[in-house]
Amino acid sequence: MRIKSGIEGFDALVEGGLLQGRQYLVSGSPGSGKTTFGVQFLTAGALEGEAGAYIALSESIGTIEDDMSRYNTQIGDLIKNNKLIFIDLGPSVNYGEYDEVSNLITPDYRQQSGDSPANQAPTPFSVFKDVEKHVKQSGIKRLVIDSLSSIRFTTQNPASEERSIGRFIRNLKTLGCTTILLSELTKPDAYTIEQFASHGVIFLHNFMDKQGSMVRALQIIKMRGTKHDCEMRSIEFSDKGLKVGKMLKK
C-alpha cells in the first residue's frame, strides 16, 4: 500500500506515495530540508490517525518543535494528543559534566564500570532498543531518525561500524513502521551501507549557482518496486514547508 509523504509535489514522482512499512533514506547537505521533510512526513500521517515519532539524536527537540510549528499550526495539538512524538535520544552528558564526574571517581572505578564518554554516546544498538520500546508503547506507524550520521563514528573500526549501521537498518525493518532515515550528505558519489540497505534514497541539495544564488533541489536516486522520477527538481520552502517543483534547467 502507498501512503502520502506529506511533501507537496513529491508523491506524483513515485507512483502516488511511499510504500508502507519500508525504510527510506533522505540525505542532504546542511540546511537542505531534511528535518522539514521528516516532520512533514510525520505530520501527514498523524493527521490521518497514524502515530509518528521523531527521534532526535543531535538537535534539541524543543528547537525542532518550535521551528516546524511555523509551517503547521496543528503540530502542537498533534503532540498533545500523542499522535506526534518527539524523542530525544542524544548524548546524555553535557559538555564539562564528564570532567566534573571524572574528578570525583578513581581510574579503577571508571575502568570497572565502563564509565567513559564513549559509553554515554548513543550507539546503533542503544538507539534501536529505545526506538523499539517507544514503537511498541505508543503504537508508532511512522518513524524519523535524525540522524544516522549521529550514530556513526562511535567505534574506531570502520568495518565494524558499517556492519552495525547495516544491522541497525535491518532491525528497524522488523518494527513494521514506514521509516525515514536522515543523513548528512557529504560526498554524493560515495556509496554508503545505508544507501544500499534502504528501500529508497532521496537526495536534497543546496548549492550556489554561477551567479552566487542558492539553488535548492531534490532528486530520487533509488526507489525499489517503483517507477520513479530521476531528475533534479527544484524545491522551495513555502509557508507550509517543503514543496517540490519543476525540473532544474540543464
Ligand X SMILES: Nc1ncnc2c1ncn2[C@@H]1O[C@H](COP(=O)(O)OP(=O)(O)OP(=O)(O)O)[C@@H](O)[C@H]1O
196 is a site residue for ligand X (CB under 6 A): no
Q: Which of these ranges, 31-39, 41-49, 108-116, 185-193, lies near ligand X under the rule CB under 6 A?
A: 31-39
Q: Which of these ranges, 7-15, 33-41, 84-92, 149-157, lies near ligand X under the rule CB under 6 A?
A: 33-41
C-beta of 216 vs 226, nearer to ligand X: 216
150 is a site residue for Mg ion (CB under 5 A): no
Give min distance, CB of 45 to ligand X, in A: 18
C-beta of 219 vs 226, nearer to ligand X: 219
- 176-205: b or e for each residue (b if 16 or more CB lie within 10 Å)? ebbbbbbbbbeeeeeebbbbebbbbbbbbb
d(Cα 234, Cα 231) in Å, to the nearest integer? 10
124 is a site residue for ligand X (CB under 6 A): no
Q: Given the C-alpha cell 518513524, which residue does it identify?
A: 143
35 is a site residue for ligand X (CB under 6 A): yes
**Burial class of residue 207, CB neighbours in 10 A (0-12, 13-18, 19+):** exposed
Amino acid at 236: E
DSSP state of 136: H
C-beta of 64 vs 172, nearer to ligand X: 64
214-243: which residues touch ligand X (CB under 6 A)? 237
52 binds, among Mg ion, ligand X, none (CB under 5 to 8 A by kind): none
CB-side exposure of 184: number of CA atoms within 13 Å?
9
170 binds, among ligand X, Mg ion, none (CB under 5 to 8 A by kind): none
Give min distance, CB of 33 to ligand X, in A: 4
17 binds, among ligand X, Mg ion, none (CB under 5 to 8 A by kind): none
The site string for Mg ion over 17-46 (x = CB under 5 A, - otherwise) reads: -----------------xx-----------
E strands present in the chain? 2-3, 18-19, 23-28, 52-56, 84-88, 142-146, 178-184, 200-208, 214-223, 233-238, 241-247
8 Å CB contact between 168 and 151: yes
8 Å CB contact between 54 and 42: yes
- Binding residues for ligand X, rule: CB under 6 A, are 28, 30-36, 70, 237
